[in-house]
Amino acid sequence: MKGYVYILECSDGSYYTGSTIDLEKRFEEHQDGRGANHTKKRLPVKLVYVEEYLSIAAAFEREKQIQGWSRVKKEALVKGEYETLPYLAECKNETHYKYYKEEE
C-alpha cells in the first residue's frame, strides 16, 4: 500500500509534517479541524509539499526525519532547493562555525 509524507503550512505560518495512505482524505480532515491538534488550532492549512512512497512504513520513516529538521531546512525542501539541504544539515554550533571560517 502506498504512503505519502506531506507538509502543511498553517495559517500562522508554521509547518506540520505528517504521513498517510490517503492524502486527499487526510488533508480534508486537517482542513475540517479533525486532524492533529497543531493544525486544528491554526486553520486554514495549505498543502505545500508531498512525497509518495511504496509503503506507509517508508513514508512514516521519512515523516520522522523531516520532523527533526529546522524550519529553514523544511522551507528549502518545500521550495525545491535540494542542493542546499546538505549544507542545512551541517552542525551550526559556535565551535564548528569558527573552525569552518578558519578553514576558508
Helix (H, G, I), strand (E, B) or coil at 3: strand
Residue 100 in this model has a pLDDT that exceeds 50: no
**Domain residue ranges of the chain, discontinuous segments joined by +:** 1-68, 69-104
pLDDT at 87: 85
Residue 62 has phi, psi (to 5 degrees) of: -65, -40
- Give 60-99 pLDDT, tens digit per residue: 999 999 999 999 999 999 999 999 998 887 666 665 555 4
Residue 85's alpha-carbon distances to 72, 74, 80, 100, 104, in angstroms, are 9, 9, 10, 18, 21
pLDDT of residue 88: 86
Whether cis (ω within 30° of 0) applies to the bond prior to 86 is no
- pLDDT tens digits along 3-18: 999 999 999 999 999 9
Q: Which CATH architecture has domain 1-68?
A: 3-Layer(aba) Sandwich (3.40)
pLDDT over 70 (residue 27):
yes
